[in-house]
Amino acid sequence: MAAAHDTDRALRILDALEAAHPDARIYLDYESPLQLLVATMLAAQCTDARVNEVTPRLFARYATASALAEADTAELEELIRPTGFFRQKARSVQACCRALVEEHGGGVPDDMDALTRLQGVGRKTASIVLAQAFGHDAIAVDTHVKRVSDRLGLARGSDPDKIERELAAAIPRTRWSRATLLLGTHGRRICTARKPDHAGCPVKGLCDFYQAMRTR
């Protein structure tokens, strides 16, 4: 359990980020839990913008888990080629969709254990699906959330599971999903990997990284 001052600080950060980024959202386009699941799998080592260019044609051709599971692998690979690592991703998507058909009637389960048993689905992907497709409380640690959390001092280290636990301890459960979107959006817009916009940062007064930069 986080100390009270840790939670208070986390809430101050989230409130400031909410004011700065009221339009914070997920950047993958989707219309169903299946589409979000597959899109998130394709987004590994790829930008969301590139995935959004690929998925309209992909889902127009293969609209169900069954269709994806039974797809011609070479054709599927060609459709998702722009996302990179397309052969590995095609294998994972098809294995995942076969399991959805065989074990879940073609639907996407809405619990962490069932999702993470699917090939190619880790906690980050599962958390995104649970939070955004099903409205569950979940924290998804992507590269932006990891970077911003570390700089702000909300969570330390590079292990996503450890970061998730530390964020979950400091942030009230009802704000987990929104925190993911706020931290991620802040990382995309302001707290970028290179040359973060300190002048435009709404939380620099609460930021360990910024304070350390000022004292150098």
pLDDT digits (tens, 9 = 90+) for 23-55: 999 999 999 999 999 999 999 999 999 999 999
Rounded to an integer, what distance in angstroms lies between the CA atom of residue 69 and that of residue 72?
Answer: 9
- Indicate the burial class of 124 (C-beta count within 10 angstroms; 0-12, 13-18, 19 or more): buried
From 123, 55, 119, 122, select the one nearest 83 (Cα to Cα): 55
Share of the chain above pLDDT 70, in %: 97
Domain encompassing residue 153: 4-25+139-214
Asked if 112 and 46 sit in the same domain, the reply is: yes
- The CA distance from 43 to 163, in Å, is 20
Structure-token match 């009802």, residue found: 174
The answer to whether 162 is a known catalytic residue is no
Asked if residue 114 and residue 79 are part of one domain, the reply reads yes
- The answer, yes or no, to whether residue 5 has pLDDT greater than 80, is no
Whether the per-residue pLDDT at 70 is higher than 60: the answer is: yes
pLDDT at 215: 79
CA gap 2, 178 in Å, rounded: 19
pLDDT, position 214? 81
Alpha-carbon gap, residue 57 to 40, rounded angstroms: 16
* pLDDT for the residue 164: 98
Q: Which of 8, 111, 113, 124 is catalytic?
A: 124
Using the 3D structure, point to which of 134, 169, 197 is the last residue of a domain. 134
Q: Check pLDDT > 50 for residue 1.
A: no
Domain C-terminal end among 102, 134, 166: 134
Q: Do residues 150 and 141 lie in contact, with contact meaning Cβ atoms separated by under 8 Å?
A: no
The CATH number for 150's domain is 1.10.1670.10
Residue 142 annotated in active site: yes
| In a shared domain, residues 114 and 152 | no
93 and 156, same domain (yes or no): no
129/143 same-domain check: no
Domain termination site, one of 105, 134, 163: 134
Q: Are residues 130 and 40 in the same domain?
A: yes
- Give the three-class secondary structure for 27: coil
Domains of the chain: total: 2
Predicted TM-score of the model (pTM): 0.94
89 has a pLDDT exceeding 60: yes
Q: Which of 89, 142, 146, 204 is catalytic?
A: 142
For residues 119 and 86, membership in a common domain is answered with: yes
pLDDT per position as a tens digit, 115-142: 999 999 999 999 999 999 999 999 999 9
